[in-house]
Structure formats: structure tokens, C-alpha cells
Amino acid sequence: MCEIEEKIIEIMRDNGIDVVATLPCGKAKNLFYLISQHFHEVPLNKEEDGIGICAGAYLALGKPAIVMQSSGLGNSMNALMSLTRTYELPLPIITSWRGVYREKIPAQIPFNKNLPRMLKAFDIPYTVIEDNSKINLIDNIICDAYENNRTHVALISPKTWEKEGEEEAELTERFPKRERETILEYKKTIHEPEMTRYDAIKTIAEYLDEEAVVSNIGIPSKELYDIKDRDLNFYMLGSYSQASSIGLGMALKTKRETVVLDGDGSLLATSVLPTIAAESPKNISVFCLDNGTLGSTGDQLTNAYSQVDMELMAICAGIKETKKVHTEKELRSTIEGLCDSKGPRFIHVIVKPGIVGQSPTLKNIKLTPEQIKKRFMNAMSGKS
């Protein structure tokens, strides 16, 4: 019935793939129907979030892949370069290649017809699968990605799914009942902040023991490095907006508590909070260190400064365990009671904008991306 799709699933299973981030394409809909039956599927709202989720899953000793429409590569390039490439992480990406073969949607053509040239310009290996006779090349793609710690993209032509002389077989899925009740009563006040972000990170760091930690790009990672460097800290050096995506990927592949030090600007730029709520890992805590600004680029105001309540945004995304804290005492009390409830947990920490209170000795992280990755993965595996 769906021999080609089942062959792809078989190849992925034979290669040990265990987490698959997806954003579907209508041309390959039968493949997407099958994925959830064979793997831990993480449905995405935005392809870029899948790059972070797969990075986190791999760092936590999983073996992830992404399956999506080829157009999603355009949304993912910064994360692929500043996260996957920078840390030399393996990532097979299996795409339905639009815009080339019998394409009826004009908007698919401009980007996708130039996609091979773009991938070549970024030195990303890719393999074109023109029809179903080449489907076994997916095995080479996955092996190459994991043997050489790099991204490798499969561009699968829609011709691959065509069945000569017969109508296209189509899988159907059963839809569960959707009826549910939503009740929300929310009244909170955001007070003038008392803590700096450095104060908040210092307090959180006092309680760190065996937790895996992802710290946001720029100054937050420098602050954590200055306060409490440890092997189980994953310092982000790039890939804006991916901190909580990486944390989600980790939480899906480890039983360790996973702590994310994220920011209001970063979380406003991602679509991962509903994904975290839907996946509901019990071992993740996202600390939103909300200074109302883009603190690593000059403290330009974000929408959280005077309009958006980040805790309410998390609640609306579906996260049930949330807190808002303004003081060190409130933060300590929240951390000490953190594991009384199952995750995902979202802690909205209101902190001062600017760099007041930072350590005067704050310097760049003296570790290469490779060193950050290796010591983190060794710690996750118990080798350090």
C-alpha cells in the first residue's frame, strides 16, 4: 500500500533513529502518518525549533532526525549554522522537495528551485532522490550525518511517491475527541524588579547538582560560566531563540532534571512553548529571566517590558505549572519546592534591565564549542 513510505521508516529504524521532529508536507502525507507509529514524534510549529530539539536530543545521547518540507530549510539556516554546524552535531534532514517537479503552487518555486545552490553555498551535503529507485540512499544520508557529525539533507522529489497505473494510496488517521473545557482565572501584578539577572542566575546556580542546564546565548551564558562553571552546563554561543528547544530535546532523552535559563526576548521569538506543553516532559523547568530587553545587544526593549506577561503566555501555550517571582526570597522558595510538582514548569523571573550588578570580571567563555559539547555529553553518560 505505502511501500516507499514504509521503506523510509525501515531505514530510519535500522539506523537507530529514536526522535523525529516533523512539520508535514502534503506531498508526503502518508510518510508523516506513519512516523508517529514508529518513533517518538515531536510535531513542530516552526521548523527552526526542530533544529534545537534535535540538538538537545543528541546531546542527551539520543539519535534524532527531522522530516519536513524543503521550504522549512529556509526558516532553519541560522540555527543550522550557529548551532548544528558550530558544535559539529549530526543531523539527517529528510525533506519533501517542493517547487521543482510538477509544482502547482507558484510560491513554492522561487526558493526551492535554488535550494541546491543554497545548500552548496553553505557547504551542507545534500542528496537528491529523484524517484523511488533511489530511496535506499537515505541510509547513506543518515550514516554520513552521524559518522561525520554534520547535517546531510535528503531532497526527495514528489515523483518518488507516485504510483504508476494505480490511484495513490492514502492512509487515514483517526481523530480523537476534541471537546474539552478551558477555564482561566489570572490576575497578577508585575512589580518593579529587585534582582539583576546575575543575581537570579547566582541564586539558581546554588541549587544545581545533577541537573542538565542550557543557558541562553550572549551574556547569560557568560554569567553562568562566571558564577558556576560545570560539565553539565551547555553554553549557547549562537542560535537565537533555541534555548528552550534544546532543553526540550534533552528532557525527552534523559531522566535528569533539565533546567533552561532563557530570556523574554528569546522566548518571544520562538514557537516552542506549545510544543513543550504538548510533549509535557516531567523533568524540565524553564526559567524565563525577564529583563524586558534584549540584554546582549544593547538593552533594546522587548514586548515583554510593558505589554506581554510571559507567565500568561506560557499558561496560554498550555503549561500548567507556572510561577512569577520578583525577589530572591521568592526565587529560593520556588526552587526549593520545584520538584513538588511535575513538569513542564515555567518560572517567570522579573529582573532589572541593564548590566548593573554584573561581576566586573565577566569574560568570554574559555571553551571551544567542541569542548562544551564533549564534556557535556561525557557528563550525561557518566564518563566525567
> pLDDT tens across 262-276, in order?
999 999 999 999 999
Query: Is pLDDT above 90 for 78?
Result: yes
* The pLDDT value given to residue 2: 78
* The pLDDT value given to residue 262: 98
Round to whole Å and give the CA distance between 375 and 125: 27
Query: Is pLDDT above 70 for 378?
Result: yes
Q: Do domains 3-161 and 197-381 have the same CATH topology?
A: yes
Q: Which of 250, 286, 251, 253 is nearest to 270 (CA)?
A: 286
Q: How far is CA 181 from CA 239, 345, 346, in A?
A: 37, 21, 22
Query: Is pLDDT above 70 for 149?
Result: yes
Round to whole Å and give the CA distance between 101 and 226: 53
Query: Is pLDDT above 70 for 195?
Result: yes
In the CATH hierarchy, which top-level class contains the domain 3-161? Answer: alpha beta
Per DSSP, the residues of 5-57 read: HHHHHHHHHHTT--EEEEE--GGGHHHHHHHHHHSEEEE-SSHHHHHHHHHHH
Amino acid at 89: L
Mean pLDDT of 64-90: 97
| Residue 191 pLDDT grade (very low, low, confident, very high; cuts 50, 70, 90) | very high
User: Measured in Å, how far apart are the chain's first and last C-alpha atoms?
Assistant: 49
At 218-234, the pLDDT tens digits run: 999 999 999 999 999 99
| Residue 172 pLDDT grade (very low, low, confident, very high; cuts 50, 70, 90) | low
Which has the higher per-residue pLDDT, 303 or 161?
Answer: 303
Mean pLDDT of 19-27: 96
Per-state percent for the chain, helix, strand, coil, to nearest 5: 40, 20, 40
User: Average pLDDT of the chain?
Assistant: 94
Count the Cβ atoms, other than its own, within 10 Å of residue 86.
18
Count the Cβ atoms, other than its own, within 10 Å of residue 250.
31
Which has the higher per-residue pLDDT, 166 or 215?
Answer: 215
Answer whether 379's CB lies under 8 Å from 231's CB. Answer: yes
Mean pLDDT of 287-316: 93
Q: Does domain 197-381 have CATH number 3.40.50.970?
A: yes
* The pLDDT value given to residue 67: 98
Amino acid at 355: I
Mean pLDDT of 132-143: 97
Q: Looking at the whole model, is its pTM more than 0.75? A: yes
Residue 286 DSSP one-character state = E
Round to whole Å and give the CA distance between 261 and 244: 8
Query: Is pLDDT above 90 for 189?
Result: yes
* The pLDDT value given to residue 35: 97
Round to whole Å and give the CA distance between 269 and 251: 21
**Domain spans of the chain, in order of start:** 3-161, 197-381
Mean pLDDT of 180-187: 92
Mean pLDDT of 152-170: 79
Vertex 68 angle, CA 63 and 165, to 5°: 115
* The pLDDT value given to residue 176: 86
Residue 319 DSSP one-character state = -
Per DSSP, the residues of 157-220 read: -GGGG--TTSPPP----PPPP-------------PPP-B-HHHHHHHHHHT-SS-EEEE-TTHH
Q: Which of 374, 277, 363, 264 is nearest to 308 (CA)?
A: 264
Residues 6+ apart with CB under 8 A from 139: 11, 14, 15
At 336-360, the pLDDT tens digits run: 999 899 999 999 999 999 765 555 5
Among 22-36, 112-126, 241-255, 354-368, the least confident range: 354-368
